[in-house]
Every structure is written in C-alpha cells, then in structure tokens.
Structure 1
Amino acid sequence: MSDGLRHTYAALRAGRAPAGWVRLGGNERGALWMLLAALGFTLNAAFAKTLAQGGMPVFQIAFARAFFALAPLLPFLLAGGLVAFRTRHPGTHLLRALFGAGAMISGFYALSTLPLATVTVLTFTVPLFAVVLSVLLLGEQVRWRRWTATLTGFGGVVIMTLPSLLQDGGFVLEWALLAGLGQAFGIAMSVVLVKRVPASESQPVMVFWFCLASIILTAPLALMQWITPSQEQWILLAAVGVTGFVSQSLIIKAYRSGEASFVAPFDYAKLPIAVLAGWLAFAELPDWATYLGGAIVVGSTLYIARREARPAEGSRF
C-alpha cells in the first residue's frame, strides 16, 4: 500500500476526513457531492427502468422506493425517541407525499417507455414549474426576464417532444412524455410545499413523514397489481429505495457545503451520465430533438437558478 493510501485509510479509521478532502474549498466539496448525487440519481433511474421494462408494476416500484428509503432513516429517528417523529404540519406532509408519490409513479411509467436521457431532461423542467407554482401558490413576484426564461424552457420541451408527437403526418399523443412532465410537476409541487414548512422542522422528520405517507398512499395500488419479485428484482427494488435516499442526502450535503450558484449547475451532469448509461445498459441514443430541446431547457433553468441564488440582484429582473 502506498503512503498516500495508508494515510487516507488511517484517517478514515480515526473518523477524520483525509487531508486532501480538508484542503478542498466548500464550493469544490459541494460540486463533488453534487456529481455523486447525479450519478446516484442516474443509477436510481436505471434500476427503476430495468424493473419497469421487466414487467414490474410502477405502483410496486413506487412503494418499494418509499419503503426502502425509510429503512436507513429509522435507526436514527428511533434513537431520538417519539419526539423525533413529532410534527405540527401533518396536512402539508400528506399533501407533499401525495404529489411526491404521483411524481414517482409518473416517472417510473415514463422510464418504462422513454429513453433514460429523455426522462432526465424532462426532470430539468422542475425549476420552470416551480416558478409558475411559486407565483400562484406563494404569491412570489417574478419579473419579465425570469418569465422569459421559463417560457423559453417550455419551448425547449416542445422541441424535444415534436418527433414523438408528429408521426406519419399526424398528431400522436405520447402518454409517456406527459408522464415525464407530470413527474416534474409533482416534484415542483413538493418543493413549493417544503417552502410552507417552517425551518424549525428538521430534515429527518420531513423525510420520515414523506416516506411514511408515500408508503400508505402507494401500498393499496401496489397490492392490487402485486407481482412476487425474484431475488434479482428484490435487490433492484431495494437499490431503487437506497440510491434514492442516498442521492437526496448528497444533494443536501452539496448545498450545505458550497454556494448554490456554484453547486447547482453540476446537477446537469446527470444528462451525459444518463446518455452513457442509456447507451450501455439499454442501447438507447437520443435524437437531435432531445439534444437541442435539452440544451434550451438546461440554459433556461441555469438562468433561473442564477437569479434565485442572488435574490437581491434578481429582484431587479
């Protein structure tokens, strides 16, 4: 073992971060956490796509996603006693879980039909929906430049979907595309609802109630179409839950480590990772419309993220 590896191993055994990691600035560490989250979310989608294409009902995948995401959290919450589960906002948590469960089901349905890269690009429309919902539900003020970016982003979605909608000289409604957009809308609703929960509500409590409510909401639908999983499918179902939980935790660490305006763009690493994963695992290659529309969506959401990261400056726009 080299001296560098020996020092790293000793630091980890002692519960200390390696010296190289400590020397990194907050933004650099945040970027690395975000890149790991992008990899984790892509693996999560690939596992779910494999299950859906193998005949596993999307309701059952959504149930497993919530169930296995809750399992790693329980030991920490149980150690804190019943007070760790207490909340004063059960209605908001239930509503958030309703939209979150809908987003999961829609996303898994989209993955069963659409290329991995296409579904990934559609998730990038979350900030676009969030702008509209923040105005309608939270009364936030949005100036014309951000509205322009939002409309431009949705224009990119139209470009992406044109080859699927216009087939054989006619208009064909692609339900999987609507499901992909439904996933983004559900996630955006969950994000907006989080803003209505006071900062005093801890992150573990919010995750616990979200997972518990999602389990309750998806369990009846999953039981109606239940298919006894094989050993390999059980492993994949558990992987969907655990990678989803870990990736979400990495997102939180990324934003806590660095500045949002610096860290946020690294989330778009999901797209090249998804293109590579789709090609290797599913023999998928995106068409020109996905690249062009995806570039427009990414550019629009990057602009919105930059405005939101600097609210004082962004208020002029």
Structure 2
Amino acid sequence: MQPLRGIALKLIAVMCFIAMSSLVKAASDTVPPGESVFFRSFFALPVIIGWLAMRGDLGTGLRVASPMAHVWRGFIGTCAMGSMFAGLAFLPLPDVTALNYAMPLLTVVFAAMFLNERVGVFRIGAVILGLIGVLIVLAPRVTAFGGDTIRTMEAVGAIIVLLGATCGALAQIYIRKMVATEQVSAIVFWFTCTSIVMSLMTLPFGWVVPEWDITLMLIITGLVGGTGQICLTSAYRYADASLVAPFDYASMIFAILIGYFIFDEVPTGQMLFGAVLIMLAGIAIILRERHLGIQRDKARQAKLPYG
C-alpha cells in the first residue's frame, strides 16, 4: 500500500470532477444536459481505453459475465449524471456539491434494503444527521417553489440534483453486487459506452450546435472526467477506502472557490451549515465502516487453524 499516493490520486480525482462540473455549468446556458452527458462520455472513452491498454486489461478486462447487469448499471448511472448536469443549470455549484453528498448516506439505506446489510444504531444516527443536513440545504429552495420564475427553477433544480444523488446511490448498490462477478475495468468501460448510447436518445429533445469555445469546453469535460474516473479507481489500489474516502469532501472547498471567483456565487450560511452536517455524517459512516472492517478481519484471523 502507498497511502500518500492514494490520497494524491483521490484529490486529483476530486479536482477533475469539480472542474468537469464547472465546465458543464458554464455550457449549461446553451447546451442541454443530454448533450453534455454525450460529450462527457464520448471524449472520456479514449482516455479509458488508453488506461486499460496501459494496464494490459484491454482484452480480459472487457469481458462480462452478465451483460444486462451492465445495461442496468449504465442506465441508473447515466440518469445520475444527467440529473446532476441538469441541476447545474439552476443551482450554484456549492449547492449541487452539497446535495450530492447525500449519495453515500442513501447508499447505506439502500444497502440495508436491497443487500440485507446490517445497519446499526450508529450508522442510522449518522444517516439521520446527514439527511437533516440535506433538508437544511433544500429548505430555502423548496419553500420558494411557486414564487418567481428564477426561484421556482432553483427549487426544480434542487429536486433534480437530489434525484440524481438517489440514482447514484442505487448505482453504487448495483456495483457492489457486480464486483463479485465482473472486472472493475469492465464496469468502468461499459458504463461509459452505455452512457454514450443513452445520451444519444436525448438528441430529439433540443440538441444544439455549440459555438467553438463551448465545444472545446465540452470536449475538455470528457477528457477531465475520464481522467478523474481513472484517478478515482487507481486511488483505491494504493490506499484503504476508509483513508481516501473522506477526501471526497475537499470538493466543497474547490466548489466554493470556483463558484465565487468564476460564477460570482456566494454560499449562504444555511447552505454551509447543512453541508457541514452532511459531511460529518459521511465521515462518521466511513470511520464506522473502517472499524467494522477491522473487527471482521480480527474475527476471520481468530477462526484460522494454527499448529
């Protein structure tokens, strides 16, 4: 294990995803979310293929045991991506980032529902704390529903982003089931292919021919997104998940800085307070998972025969 390398790769991945979101937001005034998903996926594909070739996984890593599992994972994951991209058109970048932090909380809930994972009082309490934070972030948006047009669209955007976080959590549950029989490289590759096909289905709903500078931004979105995906996957090869996972929350720092200096967005105190609660809940769950993992390892070692 190389923990510092793992942390560095995770931070690079976080910066890539925030940069990707920023580029999509900058293009959202003229480009519909389905078209942004296409650029994000299509131009990420060469990066991913190059990565697989460097690892020697281009042949064996693309074999699948259950094609339909990849189709469903791709469908749910694409819905998550499209919802986030749609939300970026209506909400400040820090708000979208904070609401996306609901995804690991919902993953815990769905793991108990669909994977029959035991969820103790500690994790239930952490999930409740995090969902309170989500409600605090949502409150000023949802209560504005039905007011002026801008505030109504912000409310719609908040609901769309939360729907995307829900889809993202469901995708994580699907991945947990798939890794028992599928290669991680295959999951990454076929998700990208599926999202390309699905995004093309939105073509009748108002795709545009963007100006050259917007086109360049969208191409960079794919390259940066693909790089972030590779760095994220690689980070977990060099360090334990419990060590690198909390660095996800560094994205809020980047989101606030980019939102303020690029989009002239000033986060409200209420949004920051809600985001802090969500982050504390997420970190608590990560630490609890680490503790349970250590206990399981000790139990397995105790059962090993000696002599």
Normalised by the shorter chain, which TM-score bucket?
Answer: 0.7 to 0.9
Is 1:28 aligned to residue 1 of structure 2?
Answer: no
Quote the sequence identity (%). 29
- CA apart distance, 1:27: 2.1
1:85-129, CA deviations, whole angstroms, 9 ceiling, x for partnerless residues?
321111111111111111111101111110101111111111111
The residue type paired with residue 37 of structure 1 is A
Once residues 81 and 46 of structure 1 are traced to their aligned partners in structure 2, the CA distance between those partners, rounded to angstroms, is: 31
Is 1:135 aligned to residue 102 of structure 2?
Answer: no
Is 1:110 aligned to residue 110 of structure 2?
Answer: no
Is the 8 Å Cα contact of residues 77 and 85 (structure 1) preserved in structure 2?
Answer: no
- CA apart distance, 1:42: 0.8
Farther off after superposition, 74-83 or 216-225: 74-83
Q: 1:306 aligns with which of 287, 295, 301?
A: 287
Is the 8 Å Cα contact of residues 42 and 270 (structure 1) preserved in structure 2?
Answer: yes
- CA apart distance, 1:169: 11
Gaps of 5+ in 2: 297-307
1:235-261, CA deviations, whole angstroms, 9 ceiling, x for partnerless residues?
111111111111121112222212222
Is 1:87 aligned to residue 64 of structure 2?
Answer: yes
- CA apart distance, 1:313: 5.9
Is 1:281 aligned to residue 256 of structure 2?
Answer: no
Q: How does 1:33-72 map to 2 (within 5 A)?
A: 33-53=9-29, 55-72=30-47
1:121-179, CA deviations, whole angstroms, 9 ceiling, x for partnerless residues?
11111111101110111111101111111011000011112222234998968111111
Q: 2:192 aligns with which of 197, 202, 211?
A: 211
Is the 8 Å Cα contact of residues 103 and 169 (structure 2) preserved in structure 1?
Answer: yes
Farther off after superposition, 306-315 or 287-296: 306-315
1:198-227, CA deviations, whole angstroms, 9 ceiling, x for partnerless residues?
445222211111111111112021344221
Once residues 146 and 89 of structure 2 are traced to their aligned partners in structure 1, the CA distance between those partners, rounded to angstroms, is: 26
Once residues 248 and 82 of structure 1 are traced to their aligned partners in structure 2, the CA distance between those partners, rounded to angstroms, is: 20
Is the 8 Å Cα contact of residues 42 and 274 (structure 1) preserved in structure 2?
Answer: yes
Q: 1:134 to 1:221 in 2, by over 3 A?
A: same
The residue type paired with residue 259 of structure 2 is G
Once residues 99 and 197 of structure 1 are traced to their aligned partners in structure 2, the CA distance between those partners, rounded to angstroms, is: 14
User: SS in structure 1 opposite 2:208?
Assistant: coil
Once residues 159 and 278 of structure 2 are traced to their aligned partners in structure 1, the CA distance between those partners, rounded to angstroms, is: 16
Is 1:99 aligned to residue 76 of structure 2?
Answer: yes
Is the 8 Å Cα contact of residues 156 and 294 (structure 1) preserved in structure 2?
Answer: yes
Aligned residues: 290
Gaps of 5+ in 1: 1-24
Q: 1:168 to 1:41 in 2, by over 3 A?
A: closer
The residue type paired with residue 201 of structure 1 is E
